[in-house]
Amino acid sequence: MRYRSKSYAWAGALGQRVDVSEMDPDYYCKGRSDNEFFRKESPPDITEKKATETCQTYYRCVPGGGNLKLVSKSQCGFGMFFDVELQICEVRSKVTNCARWQKHSLPKPKWPIANDEVSNCPAGQIECGSEECLNQRLFCDGALDCRDGSDENICNDPETDPNAAAKCDVRQCLWEQGCFCSIDGTRIPGDLLPSQTPQMILVTFSGAVNEENFRIYEQIFKETTKNKGNDCTAKGTFFVSHAFTNYSAVQELHRRGHEIAVGSITNSASKTYWSNLTAADYEAEFDGARLITEKFANISQGEILGMRVPQGRVGGNEQFSMMIDWGFLYDSSLAAPRGRLPLWPYTLQHRMPHKCLGTDQNCPTRNFTAWEMVLNELDRRDDPEFSEALTGCHLVDQCANIVDPKQFRNFLDINLAHHYNTNRAPLGLHFQAAYFLTRKSFLREFANWVAEVAGRGDVYFVTMLQAISWMEAPTEIAALNNFPEWKNKCDPKGLPYCSLPNPCESKPPREHANEDRMFLYTCEDCPNAYPWLYDPLGNGALDPVL
């Protein structure tokens, strides 16, 4: 069976190839990442006011076949200018760099060496931006060794880190050693045929859990909505951020068999904050969030094993070093570009099988014994067979062109078909916690879709940990009815642990100083203070308002 869907027309801004005579790729693209956007170079004396005439337009370099590059042109929507430093379209009044044609860049060493260039340094050494030669092992080691510090400015992408993990070698990446990789990331575990492989769907929510969105989750994951293949209720994964979370609701989600993972304590809206944290900072944010959740949602130690960094950011080697030190099994923050086939999750003992996606993104480059539950790009075109190319989205919230329930249903069907009809990589549908609060008609459509798809027999709504457990022991559809890791908490019955949680009132932390008081709802005893960074159990050792 192949899944098909109707299409609904929608028009959007698309990239256009620029003629070489207008913008020479040899000039604009040399040494520039495909992920970096820029403007057409203006005269050096152009004023900011004059530059606003073309400030809606921006460009990037795209593959042109072989080693060739081409320049592609795009345009911001009405009322928007392109911010070349933030690399996004922004409200006109907020953009003040229209006269600048490219993003300010840090000094870089002369690495990697292009095919048509020769290094000025002996073998095993790399030339700094300040022109001295240093041993390759000194690059990306966390210490500034080049005079201009350029040795630490190429460390957020495995394609530029000279000491990055090796590319996938399936002869060395062995199942019994907890390793899974493939050259392009599309290999089915166990080398099963697609027809033998269950289509897993991973529904996740990121953010605070409160009484209002808990009722939404109840509508999606009804007791009557079961995976036909094993008669277990559909499950989801919740990346819980701490502030404003009701931990009695988290406890009830966990009791019903959903997976609880962590999404940080502060849930900071600053992208640079997450990109630049140290391993110790990541420990405070995520292991701290885990301690809070274990304590106040009464979840046993060792059950919370996943994390997701807010704002679509990644913390690079610092984040993954913390994960290994503190026993996290997987991350689900890395985004992958759309390809002919979707990607399967992978372990990071080898280099990740896709580009480091995102401007100024800080991807892991070294060897880590952790899983990456990669975010595949979702297709938001109304008809992939006939619609022109349109940039996709990784979180459903980012798919701004979906404006009515029929479009939403079509979007779900198209993306399921792309996975089901190819290599059956898990389909991730990732939402912010508040997504359905203002989309009640979408909620009804989604709940109906989940129930319908779960009833097909070879499609399973499972948690992140359940997906990993299947990948570690690939099992054909015919034998999944008794797959033990999926039968645990198959169809929980019973009542919540408490019907009236304690409303624990505390002073707010400084990050929420505009709040008069902060409440923590829990079935457990109240803490002395509102749990926060460096005081996750709320002992009150630190005054959060000082």
Element (H, E) at 416: helix 405-420
- Give domain status of residue 110, yes or no: no
The values of phi and psi at residue 359, to 5°, are: -70, 130
Q: Are residues 399 and 458 in the same domain?
A: yes
Q: Are residues 351 and 438 in the same domain?
A: yes
Q: Are residues 430 and 461 in the same domain?
A: yes
Distance (Å, whole) CA 286 – CA 251: 18
267-272 average pLDDT score: 90
122, 141 contact by CB (below 8 A): no
332, 375 contact by CB (below 8 A): yes
Between 115-119, 240-244, 350-354, the lowest mean confidence (pLDDT) is in 115-119
* 407 has pLDDT over 90: yes
Closest CA to 538 of 513, 508, 501: 508
Kindly list the distances between the CA atom of residue 90 and the CA atoms of 12, 55, 75, 290, 424, in Å, as whole numbers in the listed order: 17, 11, 12, 35, 37
* 171 has pLDDT over 50: yes
Identify the burial level of 412 via C-beta atoms within 10 angstroms of its C-beta, where 0-12 means exposed, 13-18 middle and 19 or more buried. buried
- Give domain status of residue 193, yes or no: no
- Give domain status of residue 175, yes or no: no
* 9 has pLDDT over 70: no
Q: Which residue has the higher pLDDT, 156 or 67?
A: 156
Average pLDDT along the chain: 91
Q: Are residues 327 and 474 in the same domain?
A: yes
What pLDDT is recorded for position 389? Answer: 66
Q: Which residue has the higher pLDDT, 13 or 495?
A: 495
Instruction: Examine the fold and report which residue of 71, 94, 117 is the final residue of a domain before the chain moves on.
Output: 94
**Strand duo 88-91 + 346-347: pairing:** unpaired
Q: Which residue has the higher pLDDT, 125 or 175?
A: 125
The pair of three-digit structure tokens given for residue 543, joined into one six-digit string: 């005054």
Q: Read off the pLDDT of residues 433-470 as tens digits, 9 standing for 90 and up.
A: 999 999 999 999 999 999 999 999 999 999 999 999 99
- Give domain status of residue 166, yes or no: no
- Give domain status of residue 167, yes or no: no
Kindly list the distances between the CA atom of residue 171 and the CA atoms of 147, 165, 175, 468, in Å, as whole numbers in the listed order: 41, 15, 10, 21
What pLDDT is recorded for position 12? Answer: 32
* 310 has pLDDT over 80: yes
Q: Read off the pLDDT of residues 281-294 as tens digits, 9 standing for 90 and up.
A: 999 999 999 999 99
Side chain identity at 434, as an amino acid letter? A
Beta-bridged to residue 70, according to DSSP, are 62
CATH code at 375? 3.20.20.370
Q: Which residues contact 451 (CB under 8 A, 6 or more apart)?
A: 222, 224, 225
Quickly count: other Cβ atoms within 10 Å of residue 455's Cβ: 13
Q: Are residues 516 and 403 in the same domain?
A: no
The pair of three-digit structure tokens given for residue 434, joined into one six-digit string: 């508040």
Kindly list the distances between the CA atom of residue 435 and the CA atoms of 48, 215, 249, 253, 267, in Å, as whole numbers in the listed order: 38, 13, 18, 18, 16
Domains contained in the chain, number: 3
End-to-end CA distance of the chain: 62
Tokens 């690939």 correspond to 474
- Give domain status of residue 468, yes or no: yes
Per-residue pLDDT band at 545 (split at 50, 70, 90): very low
Instruction: Examine the fold and report which residue of 94, 129, 156 is the final residue of a domain before the chain moves on.
Output: 94
Q: Are residues 89 and 235 in the same domain?
A: no
DSSP conformation letters of 313-368: ---HHHHHHHHHHTT--EE---EE---SSPPPPEETTS--SS---STT-----S--
- Give domain status of residue 50, yes or no: yes
Closest CA to 311 of 207, 209, 400, 463: 207
Segments forming the whole domain that contains residue 73: 16-94
pTM over 0.75, yes/no: yes
Instruction: Examine the fold and report which residue of 94, 121, 138 is the final residue of a domain before the chain moves on.
Output: 94
Q: Are residues 479 and 523 in the same domain?
A: no
Q: Are residues 536 and 438 in the same domain?
A: no
Kindly list the distances between the CA atom of residue 120 and the CA atoms of 113, 132, 138, 164, in Å, as whole numbers in the listed order: 10, 9, 17, 22
* DSSP classification of residue 443: H
Rounded to 10 degrees, the C-alpha dihedral 382/388/390/392 comes to 50
Quickly count: other Cβ atoms within 10 Å of residue 250's Cβ: 26
What pLDDT is recorded for position 543? Answer: 46
* 14 has pLDDT over 50: no
Long-range contacts of 522-531 (CB under 8 A, 24+ apart): 522/247, 522/248, 522/251, 522/296, 522/297, 523/247, 523/248, 523/251, 523/298, 523/497, 523/498, 524/247, 524/295, 524/296, 524/298, 526/502, 527/296, 530/506, 531/242, 531/265, 531/292, 531/295, 531/296
- Give domain status of residue 164, yes or no: no
334, 375 contact by CB (below 8 A): yes
Q: Are residues 225 and 302 in the same domain?
A: yes
Q: Read off the pLDDT of residues 518-530 as tens digits, 9 standing for 90 and up.
A: 999 999 999 999 9
Q: Are residues 442 and 482 in the same domain?
A: yes
Q: Are residues 521 and 477 in the same domain?
A: no
Q: Are residues 276 and 400 in the same domain?
A: yes
